């Protein structure tokens, strides 16, 4: 005789059988997952091809589309390239600005430069500061010298940063045309961790910003207001360059600094300050005056970013800083 518990058990058994027969085999699940995954990856690829946000395998190519080399580990022979340039007995002028509390970065900058930056070459540092007494006495190698240039400070960090263009222009005009073969202007809140040598020399040199080397240009933090001289429309752009590294022949860097300074002045007269001050103007300049050589983010990293696999070596990097502590204004 069937009782209620039998009925329940049979029902349970029946439903178990049904689910067993209806559940697809594991291979079917794999197949479904494969189709789903493929759809997703095709969609993602389309997104990339549409250049909606990321793309940029091309940033890892050894050359820019206009055939300028992108310098990175493995693309040059350090011994050979240094030997070629050493025969030319060149002097590399290096402008660095340390105003206000940024003087605290000078010691590490200079000491690490002496270990890594154009070792064995003639290097002339030009240190701009409002506090000359705080320039540390760092022992310099043979053929290397340092000149302190006293300048007035400003109560805005943005102003201090952007006025580097004007000061660079004047420095090249008044001295470097006669004193140097190449010039670099570098951020001071930085440190060298690896070799930086003759492979970085060129007519006009920019460094790809470490935060945007995989970003599509529509997402670059270019200045987007047409009223600004630094304006770059969406759909234009090739790389986003960091304001921390500018280099090249004195006459080419002079032209860059002069142009950016003029455009900064035009903006200032209209009470406009570009999104990233002189860095925005630098990006505009490089868009229409392509650098002859690009430095990969090996030459401009940021210590708060961990090193990804594709970056083989970090040579020069922004050190961590407490913005509130070191800047004169927020």
Between 82 and 278, CB nearer to ligand UD2? 278
Between 69 and 328, CB nearer to ligand UD2? 328
**Gap between the Cα atoms of 321 and 213, Å rounded:** 22
Q: Binding residue for Mn ion (CB under 5 A) from 169, 187, 273, 298? A: 187
- 131 with 102: CB under 8 angstroms? no
Between 81 and 134, CB nearer to ligand UD2? 134
The residues facing 192 across adjacent strands are: 316
Position 114 contacts Mn ion (CB under 5 A): no
Position 189 contacts Mn ion (CB under 5 A): yes
Interaction partner, residue 208 (Mn ion, ligand UD2, none; CB < 5-8 Å by kind) = none
Burial state string for 207-234 with b = 16 or more CB within 10 A and e = fewer than 16: bbbbbbbebbbeebebbeeeebbbbbee
Structure tokens at 14: 């029946």
Position 278 contacts Mn ion (CB under 5 A): no
Per the annotation, binding residues are 102, 187-189, 209, 279, 302
The piece of 100-108, 181-189, 203-211, 228-236 that touches Mn ion (CB under 5 A) is 181-189
Closest CA to 126 of 139, 104, 144, 114: 144
Q: In what order do the strands lie in the sheet with 301-302?
A: 190-192, 316-318, 301-302
**Gap between the Cα atoms of 100 and 106, Å rounded:** 11
Q: Which of 223, 278, 279, 298 is catalytic?
A: 279
Interaction partner, residue 160 (Mn ion, ligand UD2, none; CB < 5-8 Å by kind) = ligand UD2
- Sign of the CA dihedral 247, 251, 257, 263? negative
Q: Is 279 a catalytic residue?
A: yes
How many residues sit close enough to Mn ion to count as binding (CB under 5 A)?
2
Per the annotation, binding residues for Mn(2+) are 187, 189
Between 85 and 191, CB nearer to ligand UD2? 191
Query: Euclidean distance between the first and final Cα of the chain, in Å?
Result: 86
Per the annotation, binding residues for UDP-N-acetyl-alpha-D-galactosamine are 102, 187-189
**Nearest residue to the partner ligand UD2, using Cβ:** 243
Between 85 and 163, CB nearer to ligand UD2? 163
Q: Rule CB under 6 A: which residues touch ligand UD2?
A: 97-100, 102, 157, 160-161, 187-189, 209, 242-244, 276-279, 318, 327-328
Alpha carbon distances (Å) from 221 to 10, 98, 218, 232 = 68, 25, 8, 10
- How many other C-beta atoms can be found within 10 angstroms of the C-beta atom of residue 131? 16
Which residues contact Mn ion by CB under 5 A?
187, 189
Q: Which residues are catalytic?
A: 279
């Amino acid at each position: 005789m069937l009782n209620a518990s039998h009925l329940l058990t049979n029902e349970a058994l029946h439903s178990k059988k049904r689910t067993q027969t209806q559940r697809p085999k594991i291979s079917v699940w794999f197949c479904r997952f494969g189709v789903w995954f493929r759809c997703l990856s095709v969609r993602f690829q389309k997104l990339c091809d549409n250049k909606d946000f990321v793309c940029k395998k091309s940033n890892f190519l050894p050359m820019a589309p206009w055939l300028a080399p992108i310098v990175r580990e493995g693309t040059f022979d350090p011994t050979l390239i240094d030997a070629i340039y050493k025969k030319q007995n060149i002097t590399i002028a290096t402008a660095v600005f340390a105003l206000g509390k940024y003087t605290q970065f000078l010691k590490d900058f200079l000491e690490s430069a002496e270990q890594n930056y154009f070792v064995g070459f003639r290097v002339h540092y030009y240190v701009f500061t409002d506090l000359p007494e705080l320039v540390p006495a760092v022992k310099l190698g043979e053929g290397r010298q340092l000149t302190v240039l006293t300048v007035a400070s400003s109560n805005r960090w943005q102003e201090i940063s952007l006025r580097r263009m004007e000061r660079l222009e004047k420095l090249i005009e008044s001295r470097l045309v006669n004193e140097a073969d190449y010039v670099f202007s570098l951020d001071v809140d930085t440190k060298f961790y690896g070799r930086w040598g003759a492979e970085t020399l060129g007519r006009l040199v920019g460094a790809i910003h470490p935060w945007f080397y995989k970003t599509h240009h529509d997402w670059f933090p270019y200045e987007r207001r047409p009223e600004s001289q630094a304006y770059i429309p969406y759909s234009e752009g090739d790389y986003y360059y960091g304001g921390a590294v500018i280099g090249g022949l004195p006459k080419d860097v002079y032209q860059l600094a002069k142009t950016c300074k003029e455009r900064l002045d035009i903006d200032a007269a209209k009470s406009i300050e570009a999104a990233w001050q002189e860095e925005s103007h630098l990006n505009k300049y490089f868009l229409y005056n392509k650098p002859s050589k690009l430095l990969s983010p090996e030459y401009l990293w940021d210590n708060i970013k961990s090193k990804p696999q594709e970056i083989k070596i970090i040579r020069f990097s922004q050190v961590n800083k407490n913005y509130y502590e070191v800047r004169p204004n927020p």
